[in-house]
């Protein structure tokens, strides 16, 4: 009698419904196939080993792995490629837009990969370090400098007013025109003699003359010599 009663109780327990999500010796309760001991159910038909995580699509994610989707994952230190079809090696960086750049490269402005030691110009373009990105899409020569006017001057030259470049030690006349050091620019495009001076009214005084209060030129008085010379 006692044995029959015990068997009846065991049968009732075995037939009792398992709440969805409850853990049993067969895995997680709910619809779908039962999972063996030591595994957990993921979704309706998948059983994952202990320590694994369950992905949103019902796939198992091994311990420490990064999930790429479609049942694919990457081991620790690796990251998923943009399309999720593979893994990038340690040292790769993931850009804000999802692009993965391999070691030795960095993320550019457009989400592209730029090799280290190069300047990112945007729109997928780059230039070697020491050069400048040109608006036309190319790169300047090594050591060149980009002006605020948009001109690019090679080494040994400086930015000219409005546009263009002039030699570093020259007198800049604007628009790429220049005069020798010590001379002045004249409105007609010529240059004054070296050592000339420009008065307040614009008059140019040649060497040996000086500006007056009226703005014209007068001979420079020679310096008096000390007695005995």
Query: d(Cα 126, Cα 138) in Å, to the nearest integer?
Result: 9
Q: In the chain, where are the structural domains located?
A: 35-77, 91-143, 144-205
Place of tokens 């593979």: 86
Q: What is the pLDDT of residues 195-224, one digit of tens each?
A: 888 898 888 898 889 899 888 899 987 766
Most confident among 31-45, 54-68, 103-117 (mean pLDDT): 54-68
pTM above 0.75, yes or no: no
Q: What is the pLDDT of residues 10-36, one digit of tens each?
A: 444 443 444 444 444 333 444 345 788
The secondary element (H helix, E strand) that includes residue 4 is: helix 2-15
Query: What burial letters (b/e) apply to 117-133, b meaning 16+ CB within 10 Å?
Result: ebbbbeeebbbeeebbb
Structure-block tokens of residue 85: 């079809």
154: nearest Cα among 171, 141, 163, 164: 141
Query: d(Cα 79, Cα 83) in Å, to the nearest integer?
Result: 12
- CB of 42 within 8 A of CB of 55? yes
């Amino acid at each position: 009698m006692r044995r029959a009663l015990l068997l009846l109780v065991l049968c009732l327990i075995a037939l009792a419904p398992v709440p969805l999500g409850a853990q049993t010796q067969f895995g997680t309760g709910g619809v779908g196939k039962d999972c063996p001991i030591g595994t957990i159910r993921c979704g309706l038909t998948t059983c994952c080993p202990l320590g694994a995580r369950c992905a949103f699509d019902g796939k198992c994610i091994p311990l420490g792995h990064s999930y790429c989707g479609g049942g694919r994952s990457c081991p620790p230190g690796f990251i998923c490629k943009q399309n999720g079809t593979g893994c990038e090696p340690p040292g790769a960086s993931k850009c804000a837009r999802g692009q993965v750049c391999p070691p030795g490269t960095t993320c550019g402005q457009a989400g592209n990969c730029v090799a280290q030691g190069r300047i990112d110009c945007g729109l997928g373009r780059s230039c070697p370090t020491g050069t400048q990105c040109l608006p036309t899409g190319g790169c300047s020569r090594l050591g060149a400098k980009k002006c605020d006017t948009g001109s690019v001057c090679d080494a040994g030259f400086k930015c000219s007013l409005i546009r263009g470049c002039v030699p570093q030690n020259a007198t800049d006349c604007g628009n790429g025109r220049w005069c020798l050091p010590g001379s002045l620019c004249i409105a007609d495009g010529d240059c004054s003699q070296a050592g000339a001076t420009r008065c307040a009214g614009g008059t140019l005084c040649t060497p040996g003359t000086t500006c007056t209060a009226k703005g014209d030129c007068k001979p420079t008085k020679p310096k008096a010599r000390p007695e005995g010379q």
